[in-house]
Amino acid sequence: MLTRRCIALYSGGLDSILAVKMIEEQGVEAIPIKFYSPFFGFEIIQDQQTYIQYHESAFGINVRLVDFTQDIIEIIKSPKHGYGKQLNPCIDCKIGMLKKAGHFLETYGASFVITGEVLGQRPMSQRKEPMNSIIKESGLKDILLRPLCARQLKETLPERMGIVNRENLGDIVGRGRKDQIMLAGKYGIDKELIPTPAGGCLLADEHISSKVRNASDRFHPGLPGKDDLILDIVGRKFNLDESTVLVVSRNDEENDVLSTLISPGNIFVKIADVPGPLSIIRGVITKENILKAASICMRYGKGRGLSGLKALYGPDPYNLADCVESPVVTEEYCTTFQIDLHK
């Protein structure tokens, strides 16, 4: 028997919020699940509780968080349906999420899955052909419902069984937001709180994709870990040797982000007594690599060109107990280590 409960694939964007509201309006309980990774939901890695509390207070949605990092690492390596313009395996990623969502059906006593997808909104994964492939390969045939555009698609089992009234579902098509904005008003969502269209997955960004490729090459034939990929999200990235990377912040905001990335294997570096970037070395921690890191860190700070300065380093950014004299080097020297983003 079908239950009046479903799993909702929740992105936190307006469409997924509306999909939950539309299905709840029909007396069906939705269990929203947010899959996150360094490439989508990086803010969740830093602070889960704030994300949960915000979506509860702003939209009345009690979201469950599920780490999808290991899944996306494996998907990136060899996606069956290929990549978008960069390293974004959109179709395989959606299939992976839906498969995982399907595993929660029994856990929560749910009988179908919903998403906030809109037909024609995204060129790679939201056309009829890939949407049908996604249904087939996710294992959710007949129980995957897309409420916002359902009347443009084949009827699903929850509709045929009367769990959901098809006539009260949406028929939205295309990339516009007019219909969604009207629905947001209908469901009492404050205009000031309506999420703006997000940049989406960071794997669609050229520079970040280049850094992720570099990390994958570094670990080949194995796979990089979560802590390695997190360092692809912020800052300038350098290869100190074939096994060691350096990430240097570009501004105070990135200094704050890097300072939260305390993890086994991460060594923080900063120049003492002058303003400048916080940096992280990850890989083989040798005196030579620490000196390289110090010289690069110096080059991007206020102490550029000054001799006699010390570089502080250690595993805790708030207690850097070790130091070396920071070499003065040219900008050309630093750029020899920087990852070529246009390979």
Percent of the chain past pLDDT 70, that is, above it, reads 97
At 202 the pLDDT is: 94
Contact 254, 293 (CB under 8 A): no
Q: Counting beta carbons within 10 angstroms of the beta carbon of residue 199, is it exposed (0 to 12), middle (13 to 18) or buried (19 or more)? A: exposed
CA distances from 43 to 231, 278, 342 (A): 14, 19, 27
Cis amide prior to 221 (ω within 30 degrees): yes
Dist CA 317 CA 261 (whole Å) = 9
**What is the average per-residue pLDDT within 280-308?**
92
**Confidence (pLDDT) at 199:** 60
What whole-number percentage of the chain has pLDDT above 90?
Answer: 80
Confidence (pLDDT) at 110: 97
Domains of the chain: 5-193 (3.40.50.620), 234-335 (no CATH)
Rounded CA-CA distance 342/153 in Å is 41
Max mean pLDDT range (4-8, 42-46, 177-181): 4-8
The answer for residues whose C-beta is within 8 angstroms of residue 296's C-beta and 6 or more apart is 238, 246, 248, 279, 329, 334, 337
pLDDT value, residue 125: 55
Q: Is the pLDDT of residue 307 over 90?
A: no
Mean pLDDT of all residues in 221-238: 92
pLDDT of residue 2: 83
Mean pLDDT (the chain, rounded): 92
- Model confidence at 132, pLDDT cuts 50, 70, 90, reads confident
pLDDT level of residue 130 (50, 70, 90 thresholds): confident
End-to-end CA distance of the chain: give it in Å, rounded. Answer: 54
147-159 per-position pLDDT tens digit: 999 999 999 999 9
pLDDT at 124 over 60: no
Q: What is the pLDDT of residue 196?
A: 83
Please tell me whether the overall predicted TM-score, pTM, comes out greater than 0.85 for this model: yes
